[in-house]
A = this chain, B = another copy of it.
Amino acid sequence: MAVYTEVPDEALAAFLAAYDIGDLLSYKGIAEGVENTNFFLHTTAGSYILTLYEKRVAEGDLPFFLGLMEHLAANGLACPQPIRNRAGEALGRLCGRPAVIVTFLDGVSVRRPATRHCRALGAALAGLHAAGAGFGIRRPNALSVAAWRPLFAQAEAQADTVAPGLAARTRADLAVLEAGWPQDLPGGVIHADLFTDNVFFIGDAVSGLIDFYFACNDAFAYDLAICLNAWCFEGDGSFNRTKGQAMIAAYQGVRPLEPAEVAALPLLCRGAALRFMLTRLVDWLNVPPGALVKPKDPLEYDRKLAFHRRVADAAEYGWASAG
């Protein structure tokens, strides 16, 4: 959460001259997004977010991310919509970095979601999966099961310094997940990072989804598994089945899960938890000196994994056959 790139007023003025978004009234660097530099822009035409992509976002992926946001917005999803300049380009360059202007979305992130938020999120997630249909660019999930063992290799030697037994637990999880990871589930474009800070609410309604920089093609139910992990555990580490039930039922109100998805849900949840445990573990063990961003705790997901390992079937997450 930091401004990595300072943008002088003259450079911004020159950049904005290529766009039809009125005259600049104000811009402020905002502490949102861990990977990129974001500015709130206020112009005579409205409010926007200017994003400068820092080195952790691969420039070759930007046409996918920007095209996806345009596609989703055109299909009725409330998400940031890239603004094209007079040359018809959504992607520009500013201060040596790829840069894009998107529409500003109102809404507030909920840090501690209640059941009503989980319900609203379930419906919004299914809406996202429907809105992604027909998008023409594909991006494989670079952080799915095949990526986990190489990720773990970066952290294995030091894992037990973070928590005793973590290395052995992870080796066992990897063996189970690699052997049983479901193929051929219904899929399409998934968000793959729909944590609470990427969902805006106004009152109890979802007002928008943001931060599509992990979006990719994968199983829809895996996206639901990520959300169950991110939204339905309590601060004490327990899974709240009431919240899970609300999320799954609302999802199924838009798109009922197929039997294969229901059967796979426990493994998908376990895999999703392992994916976040592993990326957090690698970041935790590699904090650069002078880092502006505090790393997230990998052990939060180690505790969630302990729950998932004991789950027998999707009912434990709150699944019930659709209405």
A-side residues, CB < 8 A to B, are 1-3, 8-10, 24-32, 40, 42, 47, 104-112, 200, 202, 290, 292
Contact = CB atoms under 8 A, between A and B. Distances in A.
A27 to B, nearest CB: 6
**Most chain B CB inside 10 Å of its own CB: which residue of A10, A26, A107:** A26
Cβ-closest 7 pairs across A and B: A29-B31, A25-B106, A3-B31, A28-B30, A26-B106, A8-B111, A9-B108
8 contacts: A26-B104, A28-B28, A28-B30, A29-B31, A29-B32, A30-B30, A30-B31, A40-B40
Contacts of A32: 28-29
Contacts of A109: 9
A161 B306 CA distance: 55
Nearest to A7: B111
Contacts of A9: 108-111
A42 B32 CA distance: 16
Given A3-B1, A42-B106, A112 B26 contact: no
Given A3-B1, A3-B31, A31-B2, A108 B40 contact: no
B202 A10 contact: no
B111 A26 contact: no
A10 B112 contact: yes
Contacts of A200: 26
